[in-house]
């Protein structure tokens, strides 16, 4: 009789679905792939278990921490589905089951990226303003970049020695902005090498880069009226493999002994292997990358190094086009903005106000 009563009591508890104690809320301002489970139980449970399932009954893996109240974010959900959460809390071996449903909704704006958007808009407006000002004829001072000024010297030396120029567009594919920046520099370099009739060697790691680099070099030769001097095989594919590519370039440097080496683009562990081999051949070396970890290697082994932003400014600097030079002034505005934000952030943090930090961190999280 006693067991029957306990079983009866347990059944009542088990079936007493209390939606007020548990809720599945849509995470706001996101892509509709997350829900947040909130629970507030009337007692401290001995243990809890949670199951989240989609309309087809497939379970979503989750892990819940023991607590009378709490919240848990469930990610990687489908915004088209309504999910059912079942929280079972055990007290003295008696299960209490709570159920709720919820559906994630897609929003039209990532609120946590507001600061990022504002900064981006300010910098873009500044760049467009300076480009427009340059169009109207305003002259801007642009500091000298010795790595780019040396390009003429390197080409001249290669021409005098009758040796080729080696241009390595990095190990990134065409979806890497550093590779695009590298190809814009290649365009200027190819024009000069065509004018001086100096051989240019461009080994590529990816077929897409090969295709784009060939087009860039061919157009450059065409532009200076030396299409007859263009050799399609001077821009060639080596291998997709990182160290195979390095070994291939090292071989070219040792066999062909180029008078000038350009390593511009995205580089990783191979940067020092390339730069040191080039250094051992006595070539003038210019390198440039936005990979902060590889810059020390290039600085040590190369004659000139384009640091970070200089790689992206190279095309504008080399073209001497007022519009493009104007855009470089926009970069300076961006730097000023960042400096002011850092100073303001430090002062506010010292004063115990963390609103600015939180606002910016929202953009970075």
Partner 1 sequence: MKRSFPLVFAFIVGFLVLLAEFIPHRPFSQLISTLENWFMIIAGFAILLGQISLIRVNSRIISNKEHDWQYHLAGMISFALMLIVGVLWGMREAPGILGKGEDIALWMGMKPFDYLFTYAYMPLSATVFSLLAFFIASAAYRAFIIRGFESNLLMITAVIVIIGRTSIGSMLTGWLPESWSFWHIPNLADFIMEYPNTAAQRAIMISAGLGIIGSSLRIILGIERSYLGGDK
Gap between the Cα atoms of 218 and 202, Å rounded: 12
Of 208, 344, 347, 361, the residue at the interface with partner 1 (CB under 8 A) is: 208
Of 69, 293, 347, 353, the residue at the interface with partner 1 (CB under 8 A) is: 293
Gap between the Cα atoms of 315 and 311, Å rounded: 8
Query: Is 310 near partner 1 (CB under 8 A)?
Result: yes
Q: Which is nearer to partner 1, 27 or 87 (CB)?
A: 27
Of 8, 244, 344, 347, the residue at the interface with partner 1 (CB under 8 A) is: 244
Gap between the Cα atoms of 40 and 65, Å rounded: 13
Residues 142-201 that bind partner 1 (CB under 8 A): 173-175, 177, 180-181, 183-184, 187-188
Query: Is 124 near partner 1 (CB under 8 A)?
Result: yes
Gap between the Cα atoms of 161 and 154, Å rounded: 11
Of 38, 54, 99, 110, the residue at the interface with partner 1 (CB under 8 A) is: 110
Of 212, 253, 264, 283, the residue at the interface with partner 1 (CB under 8 A) is: 212
Both tokens assigned to 130: 């300076």
Segment interacting with partner 1, rule: CB under 8 A, options 41-49, 112-120, 259-267, 343-351? 112-120
Gap between the Cα atoms of 308 and 291, Å rounded: 7
Residue identified by tokens 């849509």 is: 26
Both tokens assigned to 91: 């007290």
Segment interacting with partner 1, rule: CB under 8 A, options 92-100, 148-156, 321-329, 345-353? 321-329
Segment interacting with partner 1, rule: CB under 8 A, options 5-13, 83-91, 121-129, 140-148? 121-129
Both tokens assigned to 257: 């002994």
Gap between the Cα atoms of 355 and 28, Å rounded: 20
Q: Which is nearer to partner 1, 198 or 315 (CB)?
A: 315
Both tokens assigned to 31: 């892509």
Q: Which is nearer to partner 1, 131 or 154 (CB)?
A: 131
Q: Which is nearer to partner 1, 65 or 233 (CB)?
A: 233
Contact 24, 100 (CB under 8 A): yes
Give the nearest distance from C-beta 46 to partner 1 in angstroms: 40
Of 6, 19, 66, 128, the residue at the interface with partner 1 (CB under 8 A) is: 128
Of 40, 153, 199, 276, the residue at the interface with partner 1 (CB under 8 A) is: 276
Give the nearest distance from C-beta 9 to partner 1 in angstroms: 47
Residues 71-90 that bind partner 1 (CB under 8 A): 79
DSSP character at residue 198: -
Give the nearest distance from C-beta 310 to partner 1 in angstroms: 8
Give the nearest distance from C-beta 270 to partner 1 in angstroms: 8
Query: Is 54 near partner 1 (CB under 8 A)?
Result: no
Gap between the Cα atoms of 37 and 23, Å rounded: 6
Residue identified by tokens 């001072």 is: 141
Of 11, 17, 44, 120, the residue at the interface with partner 1 (CB under 8 A) is: 120
**Virtual torsion, Cα 155, 227, 203, 168, nearest 10 deg:** 40
Query: Is 113 near partner 1 (CB under 8 A)?
Result: yes
Q: Which is nearer to partner 1, 17 or 124 (CB)?
A: 124
Sign for the pseudo-dihedral over CA of 186, 191, 192, 193: positive
- Nearest CA to 15 out of 81, 97, 82, 88 is that of 97
Phi, psi (degrees; rounded to nearest 5) at 132: -65, -40
**Virtual torsion, Cα 193, 197, 198, 200, nearest 10 deg:** 60
Of 51, 62, 99, 107, the residue at the interface with partner 1 (CB under 8 A) is: 107
Give the nearest distance from C-beta 3 to partner 1 in angstroms: 54
Compute how many other C-beta atoms are within 10 angstroms of the C-beta atom of residue 71. 12
Q: Which is nearer to partner 1, 22 or 183 (CB)?
A: 183
Gap between the Cα atoms of 37 and 46, Å rounded: 19
Query: Is 32 near partner 1 (CB under 8 A)?
Result: yes
């Amino acid at each position: 009789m006693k067991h029957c009563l306990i079983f009866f009591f347990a059944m009542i508890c088990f079936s007493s679905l209390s939606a007020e104690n548990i809720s599945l809320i849509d995470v706001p301002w996101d892509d509709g792939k997350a829900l947040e489970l909130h629970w507030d139980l009337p007692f401290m449970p001995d243990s809890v278990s949670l199951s989240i399932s989609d309309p087809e009954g497939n379970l979503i893996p989750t892990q819940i921490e023991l607590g009378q109240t709490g919240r848990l974010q469930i990610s990687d959900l489908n915004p088209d589905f309504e999910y059912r959460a079942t929280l079972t809390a055990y007290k003295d071996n008696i299960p209490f089951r709570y159920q709720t449903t919820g559906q994630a909704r897609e929003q039209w704006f990532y609120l946590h990226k507001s600061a990022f958007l504002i900064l981006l808009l300010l910098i873009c407006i500044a760049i467009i303003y300076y480009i427009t000002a340059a169009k109207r004829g305003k002259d801007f001072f642009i500091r000298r970049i010795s790595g780019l000024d040396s390009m003429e010297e390197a080409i001249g030396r290669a021409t005098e020695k009758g040796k080729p120029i080696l241009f390595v567009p990095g190990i990134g594919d065409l979806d890497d902005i550093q590779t695009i920046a590298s190809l814009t520099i290649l365009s200027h370099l190819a024009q000069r090498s065509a004018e001086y009739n100096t051989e240019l060697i461009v080994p590529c790691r990816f077929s897409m880069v090969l295709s784009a680099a060939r087009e860039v070099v061919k157009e450059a030769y065409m532009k200076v009226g030396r299409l007859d001097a263009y050799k399609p095989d001077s821009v060639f594919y080596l291998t997709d493999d990182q160290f195979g590519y390095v070994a291939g370039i090292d071989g070219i440097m040792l066999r062909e002994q180029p008078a000038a080496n350009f390593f511009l683009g995205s580089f990783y562990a191979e940067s020092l292997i390339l730069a040191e081999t080039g250094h051992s051949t006595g070539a003038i070396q210019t390198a440039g990358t936005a990979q902060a970890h590889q810059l020390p290697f290039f600085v040590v082994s190369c004659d000139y190094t384009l640091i970070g932003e200089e790689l992206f400014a190279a095309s504008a600097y080399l073209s001497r086009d007022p519009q493009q030079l104007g855009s470089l002034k926009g970069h300076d505005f961006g730097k000023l903005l960042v400096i002011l934000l850092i100073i303001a952030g430090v002062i506010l943090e010292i004063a115990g106000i963390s609103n600015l930090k939180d606002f910016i961190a929202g953009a970075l999280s």
